[in-house]
Amino acid sequence: MLESQLYYCPYCGEPAEALLDLSGGDQSYIEDCPVCCRPIQFELRTDGTEWELDVRGEND
């Protein structure tokens, strides 16, 4: 199951959208900001239905 979530880059503050695959369970991964290209750490916690996404800078 795919869901989308709006987030703000912790570096430049620009809005972006993350596509979340809830079928994979809890996940931790890094993606570059589509605007400033700096690495963002994503922490997804999910039970397959409900989810919580934490977005932070790489060294936070």
Residue 7 has pLDDT above 80, yes or no: yes
- For residue 38, pLDDT over 80 is answered with yes
- The whole-number average pLDDT for the span 17-32 is 93
Nearest to 55 by CA among 3, 2, 15: 15
| pLDDT for res 58 | 85
**Spans of all domains in the chain:** 2-57
Per-residue pLDDT, 49: 81
Q: How far apart are the first and last CA of the chain?
A: 29
pTM of the predicted protein model: 0.86
User: In this model, does residue 56 exceed pLDDT 90?
Assistant: yes
The answer, yes or no, to whether residue 53 has pLDDT greater than 90, is yes
